[in-house]
Amino acid sequence: MTVRSTILAASLLAAFPHAYAEEADKPVPVVPLDVVEVTGHYNNSVGTSDAASQGQVKASLIANRPALRPGELLEFVPGVIVTQHSGDGKANQYFLRGFNLDHGTDFATFVDGMPVNMRTHAHGQGYTDLNFLIPELVERIAYRKGPYYADEGDFASAGAAHMSLFNQLKQNMATLTVGENRYMRGMLAGSSAAAGGTLLYGLELAHNDGPWVHPEAFRKNSGVLRYSTVSGADQYAVTAMAYKGSWHASNQIPLRAVESGALNPFDAIDPTDGGRTARYSLSGEWKRRSGEAQSQANVYAVRSDLTLFNNHTYFLDDPENGDQNRQTERRRMLGFAASHSWPATLGGFSMSHKIGAQGRYDHISPLSLLATKNQQVLGTVSESKVKEASLAAYYENTLHWTPWLRSIAGLRYDSYRFDVASNIAENSGKVNAHITSPKLSLVLGPWQSTEFFLNYGSGFHSNDARGTTAHLSPKEREPIEPVTPLVRTRGGEIGARSEMLPGLQSSLALWTLRSASELVFSGDAGDTAPSRASKRSGIELNNHYVARSWLLFDLDLAYSRGRYSEADAAGDHIPGAVEKVASFGATVNDIGPWSGAFQMRYFGPRPLIEDNSQRSKGTAIAYLRAGYRFNRNWQMSLDVFNLFDRKASDIDYFYASRLPGEAAEGVQDVHYHPAERRNFRLTLRASF
């Protein structure tokens, strides 16, 4: 793969040093502010994981790199690309391992044990909106790829990310950020002793118009309150989170209108698109360690609301009023997860057992798709009340056969119940489904600071509940077949991780993944789009190099190949399947009062339709941060996004749309969302 553009700009400047405790579960010695350690950015050393593609990112790296949007936290997972095709208040688009994951299907995301993916969602299955997060409060991101882990269930076939919040901050902090396009952000966070434990708080207020002709006016209000304590071998934490957002959308636009000069690249066909959302949660965690035995449990309750206005085809379906629709949902979600692990022996071999159970219940009412014009309702396409419940149990055994060989074998069972009450009588009903998923991994080594991995697993993703009971298409009211409730996936991986060279951590993984169906529920159409079985394979190379105590380099390369495995005259390419991904980063710390970080990502061309006759262009975007420390309590940093001012797309699609005056059948065209042009943000930070 070509990464010339990725390594061309290896100029270094950067990020203010981290001011966070690195292990919230353990007492952490207070490090003076004038001492900065770069070596603690990752926990990916030999002996720390069960696959070459598994790892962990610590808060120090998260703090050092600039991010345009909160969702870009997931780009710390090697190979993940995060983009946006609409307003910033909407969930991002995600790409990994040959998947266009849309808003989250096949990549599971959790925050302190709470699932972020929303199943049976108004806009997209697995919808993953991370805007509620305050990035400064994220302690670590533990990531996994592939369906090899018994404790990972729905949406985790391509991978999973578990984000953990701090229990305690090393210092209280306040930041004020201003930038172009009326960007403003204020953040206050801190922690203090309270009632025998620690009370952590965080508050964020933000506004952004973006570069758009019609200002986005994205407003974000987010807050966190967390109490944690330790009592003997027990650890407890209770967390309350709240978030509200509103915005005017900047949806993808047709290339033909831009090339003809009729439309500014930062304009919109329908400027009344937009949305508003809210999310409130209360969660609790408990952990106990007794010798080598460990127990933990978490419970959560989430209420979320979303209203979206979208118009992607303009005047194709309704030449008079336009094709705008409103997608609305109100959700109540309850869930839990519990596990226990303990050591044992078998015939002189040491082993460990782990058992666990997980449950989740979603009540979504109303769940609707309405035809609108300028956000005014014209009629109802579909409206449903959905109750979706799931229970899972799993067992995992780790057996040490020799000092250089261990096996991890697991078995998972998931049971689902879908209950749909639709305004279309034929689409109401109840469905039960279950699936069993075996897992097996072998870890060999280490030899010469190198270990090898063999991984296999079966996983799944659930489909939208409405598709499992549907017999008529919501718009045309034509007969359709219900979809499979749970879609099986199977994957394998061969990998290696090495630390043979001083200061360098490298991992290599060759992987493959098969899916029984690419079925995806389309919130824009109100039904499930059937597709074929698929197969994907690829290779990933990840490198983290500490060149000096003050200098860190990262280079992650990935190539994947995605194809439909069932023949069809339309072709076998999977639209949107990312092929080449590269990321290069450099972090400098403690150069007197100066620090810096540089990050570039490359998102390669990909097919837009099945016969591969239409392809997107590649995108290379660079970020830069330069920081200066005035004294122990005051710092300033300058972030530059799209450093080289590249004219590029965040995302591309190919489909038919109709502009005024065009033929009734519309025009097949590329529709894209432009990446923001170069812009600057200045942050002043006070520690106290």
The model's confidence at residue 530, banded by pLDDT at 50, 70 and 90, is low
Question: Which residues make Cβ contacts (< 8 Å) with residue 252, sequence separation at least 6?
Answer: 85, 86, 312, 651, 653, 671, 672, 673
Q: What is the pLDDT of residue 35?
A: 27
d(CA 577, CA 573): 8
Report the amino acid identity of residue 155: F
The model's confidence at residue 428, banded by pLDDT at 50, 70 and 90, is very high
* pLDDT tens by residue, 270-316: 999 999 999 999 999 999 999 899 999 999 999 999 999 999 999 99
Are 672 and 255 contacting, i.e. CB atoms less than 8 angstroms apart? yes
- Strand pairing partners for 302? 281, 333
Distances 128 to 220, 336, 589 between C-alpha atoms, Å:
17, 19, 33
Q: Which pair of tokens denotes residue 572?
A: 């076998």
- Res 97 pLDDT > 50: yes
Distances 378 to 228, 329, 456, 470 between C-alpha atoms, Å:
50, 18, 50, 23
What is the DSSP secondary structure assignment for residue 463, as one 8-state letter? Answer: P
What is the DSSP secondary structure assignment for residue 438, as one 8-state letter? Answer: E
Q: Which pair of tokens denotes residue 8?
A: 């061309």
Are 115 and 335 contacting, i.e. CB atoms less than 8 angstroms apart? yes
- Res 683 pLDDT > 90: yes
Ranking 35-44, 185-194, 369-378, 453-462 by mean pLDDT, the lowest is 35-44
Q: In the predicted model, what is the mean pLDDT of residues 82-100?
A: 92
Are 415 and 361 contacting, i.e. CB atoms less than 8 angstroms apart? no
d(CA 552, CA 556): 13
Report the amino acid identity of residue 653: Y
Question: Which residues make Cβ contacts (< 8 Å) with residue 277, sequence separation at least 6?
Answer: 89, 129, 131, 243, 244, 245, 246, 304, 305, 306, 307
d(CA 133, CA 114): 13
b (16+ CB within 10 A) / e for 421-447: bbebeebbbebebebebebbbbbbbbe
- Res 392 pLDDT > 50: yes
The model's confidence at residue 42, banded by pLDDT at 50, 70 and 90, is low
Are 451 and 445 contacting, i.e. CB atoms less than 8 angstroms apart? yes
- Strand pairing partners for 294? 289, 341
Distances 74 to 142, 182, 220, 461 between C-alpha atoms, Å:
10, 26, 19, 20
- Res 16 pLDDT > 70: no
- Strand pairing partners for 332? 303, 363
Find the farthest-apart pair of alpha carbons in the chain and give their distance in angstroms, rounded.
80
Q: In the predicted model, what is the mean pLDDT of residues 393-407?
A: 97
The model's confidence at residue 527, banded by pLDDT at 50, 70 and 90, is low
In 101-259 the beta strands, taken as DSSP E runs, fall at 107-111, 114-115, 138-145, 159-165, 173-179, 183-194, 197-208, 218-231, 234-248, 253-254
Ranking 13-17, 137-141, 344-348, 559-563 by mean pLDDT, the lowest is 13-17
* Apex 74 CA angle, 70 and 75, nearest 5: 105
- Res 628 pLDDT > 60: yes
H/E stretch holding 212 reads none
Q: What is the pLDDT of residue 523?
A: 54
Q: In the predicted model, what is the mean pLDDT of residues 227-232?
A: 95
What is the DSSP secondary structure assignment for residue 465, as one 8-state letter? Answer: H
Q: Which pair of tokens denotes residue 597?
A: 């970080």
Are 425 and 180 contacting, i.e. CB atoms less than 8 angstroms apart? no
d(CA 171, CA 219): 27
* pLDDT tens by residue, 340-380: 999 999 988 999 999 999 999 999 999 999 999 999 999 99
For the chain, domains (ranges, CATH) are 4-486+511-687 (2.40.170.20)
Nearest to 255 by CA among 549, 538, 672, 577: 672
- Res 32 pLDDT > 80: no
- Res 112 pLDDT > 50: yes
d(CA 669, CA 656): 6
- Res 398 pLDDT > 70: yes
Name the average pLDDT for the chain.
91
d(CA 134, CA 15): 18
For the chain, report the end-to-end CA distance as a whole number of angstroms.
47
Q: Quote the percentage of the chain above a pLDDT of 70.
A: 92
Structural Rg of the chain based on CA atoms: 25
* pLDDT tens by residue, 570-623: 999 999 999 999 999 999 988 889 999 999 999 999 999 999 999 999 999 999
The model's confidence at residue 64, banded by pLDDT at 50, 70 and 90, is confident
Q: Which pair of tokens denotes residue 460?
A: 């799944």
Q: Which pair of tokens denotes residue 349?
A: 């071999």
Is residue 472 helix, strand or coil? Answer: strand
* pLDDT tens by residue, 230-280: 999 999 999 999 999 999 998 999 999 999 999 999 999 999 999 999 999
Peptide bond into 482 cis (omega under 30): no
Q: Which alpha helices (DSSP H) does 539-679 contain, by range?
A: none
Report the amino acid identity of residue 111: V
- Res 144 pLDDT > 80: yes
The model's confidence at residue 454, banded by pLDDT at 50, 70 and 90, is very high
Q: Quote the percentage of the chain above a pLDDT of 90.
A: 85
What is the DSSP secondary structure assignment for residue 106, as one 8-state letter? Answer: T
The model's confidence at residue 423, banded by pLDDT at 50, 70 and 90, is very high
b (16+ CB within 10 A) / e for 297-326: bbbbebebebbbbbbbbbbbeeeeebbbbb
Report the amino acid identity of residue 310: N
Question: Which residues make Cβ contacts (< 8 Å) with residue 262, sequence separation at least 6?
Answer: none
Report the amino acid identity of residue 533: A
Distances 299 to 111, 529, 560 between C-alpha atoms, Å:
12, 34, 37
